[in-house]
Amino acid sequence: MSKIDEKLQPVLDEVLRRNAGEAEFHQAVHEVLESLGRVVAKHPDYASDALIERICEPERQIIFRVPWVDDTGQVQINRGFRVQFNSALGPYKGGIRFHPSVNLGIVKFLGFEQIFKNALTGMPIGGGKGGSDFNPRGRSDGEIMRFCQAFMTELHRHLGEYTDVPAGDIGVGGREIGYMFGQYKRLNNRYEAGVLTGKGLAYGGSRARTEATGFGLVYFVQQMLGTKGTSLDGKRVVVSGSGNVAIYAIEKVRQFGGVVMACSDSNGYILDENGIDLDLLKEIKEVRRERLSEYVRIKKSGAHYIEDGSIWDVPCDIALPCATQNELTAKDAATLIKNGVMAVGEGANMPSTPEAVALFQNGGVMFAPGKAANAGGVATSALEMQQNASRDSWSFEQTEERLAQIMRNIHDNCAATAEEYSAPGNYVLGANIAGFVRVAEAMRALGVI
């Protein structure tokens, strides 16, 4: 990782000391502080009143036991987390992740990123994140329901439509949000629709929320390509992951005329020379909830399943990492560059390692950081909250048009901020600074709290 401004080094030192061993959180803070050097050089007042130190320290961190009973009658124990990071702009807002790798450091990194991402949307939402080390893979529907109920039995007391509004993330989709909302409603005896987003359409969800993160990513990438006079039309695209973000990124790439050659899960990747068959992919992942290898078993011609190897070995014009953090390494970046990649758009949170990002930026590859490029999901969650507050329900077209406009605004804001700070085309810097300035202005106005 590169050096940060000497005025900000003590802030980083304190974060490392106070959050020992939380590597992903350190990485996320380092990246933001690296960008903020230019801000404090231009506006030293932003470094006063320990404002940057306060942004790096969560307002509240909740850790709790989640006991539940599996199908064999055994009691299982998991650990639950909610990090309420920053509420200067609005109620804490950010997803819940169920994955065995979840720990406090992962939740903190995600919550920290969320502060700036939510600020970039221009909407009134603060930053937070939650999750559990529960592994949903192979669990029955009844087990998923009992786990979600147990998780919410503790978490509910910390939530509220004006307090903290979770949504989905890895391992948490419409089914899990439904079970958690049901339990919240039962415990509080309140139909408080705005307390969770990503709800089903039958009970207060928003049209286009399921699609929003993937669609928003592709809108952002299309804007970015437009600055160089090109577009997705006719481009070869590789998308990692095969979950919510990946599936709807694939759908929108196709609508814009691109061909998605490959996608993956944590066991391997599929390569389909004719372009991924989206209907089949949705059937396997969303309906049957099966492994990606099923795709090749069903679609016998033109498709290959590769178990050992990296999806980034597949030559492409555009790479969209949509699985998880640090999935795209320096070695992968070098391969992509060698194979002629022109743009990378992060659908996942922090999927590229810092070394990979540096290689892309130094190699002239357009690079859209997740903080900006995947903000369409949380932005549409905020639109869901608006619909809940006004007891209204918008059409798909109206909601998608709002999403597209928000993504254009985020893109233009990041690009203009990068220009302003003498780093044209550096969307990492643009996103970090534009997000920071909005939060910092609000925090200063609110005093030392």
According to CB under 6 A, which residues from 308 to 327 bind ligand NDP? 322-324, 327
According to CB under 6 A, which residues from 263 to 282 bind ligand NDP? 265-267
Is 369 one of the binding residues for ligand NDP (CB under 6 A)? Answer: no
Q: Smallest distance, Å, CB 247 to ligand NDP?
A: 8
- Residue in 132, 223, 244, 426 binding ligand NDP, rule: CB under 6 A: 244
Record the tokens describing residue 363, joined without a space.
Answer: 């190699």
Strand order in the sheet with 303-306: 303-306, 268-272, 259-265, 236-240, 318-321, 343-345, 366-368
Q: What is the largest CA-CA distance in the chain?
A: 64
Angle between helices 376-389 and 104-120 (to 10 degrees): 70
Q: State the binding string over 204-243 for ligand NDP (x if CB under 6 A, else -).
A: ---------x---------------------------xxx
- Residue in 377, 399, 432, 443 binding ligand NDP, rule: CB under 6 A: 377
Range 370-401 burial, b when 16+ CB lie within 10 A, else e: bbbbbbbbbbbbbbbbbbbeeeeebeeeebbe
Is 131 one of the binding residues for ligand NDP (CB under 6 A)? Answer: no
Q: Which CB sits closer to ligand NDP, 35 or 352?
A: 352
Q: Which CB sits closer to ligand NDP, 341 or 403?
A: 403
Q: Which CB sits closer to ligand NDP, 40 or 107?
A: 107
- CB neighbours (10 Å) of residue 153? 18
Record the tokens describing residue 285, joined without a space.
Answer: 């992942």
Distance between CA atoms of 318 and 312, rounded to whole angstroms? 11
Name the 3-class secondary structure at 270.
strand
Is 352 one of the binding residues for ligand NDP (CB under 6 A)? Answer: no
Is 395 one of the binding residues for ligand NDP (CB under 6 A)? Answer: no
Q: Which CB sits closer to ligand NDP, 309 or 424?
A: 309
Is 121 one of the binding residues for ligand NDP (CB under 6 A)? Answer: no
Distance between CA atoms of 68 and 81, rounded to whole angstroms? 16
Is 288 one of the binding residues for ligand NDP (CB under 6 A)? Answer: no
Is 260 one of the binding residues for ligand NDP (CB under 6 A)? Answer: no
According to CB under 6 A, which residues from 141 to 200 bind ligand NDP? 168-171, 173
Choice among 93, 108, 117, 129 that is catalytic: 129
Place of tokens 């016998």: 300
Range 202-241 burial, b when 16+ CB lie within 10 A, else e: eebbbbbbbbbbbbbbbbbbbbbbeeeebebeebbbbbbb
Q: Is 199 a catalytic residue?
A: no
Catalytic residues: 129
Q: Which residues of the chain form contacts with ligand NDP (CB under 6 A)?
A: 168-171, 173, 213, 241-246, 265-267, 322-324, 327, 347-349, 374, 377
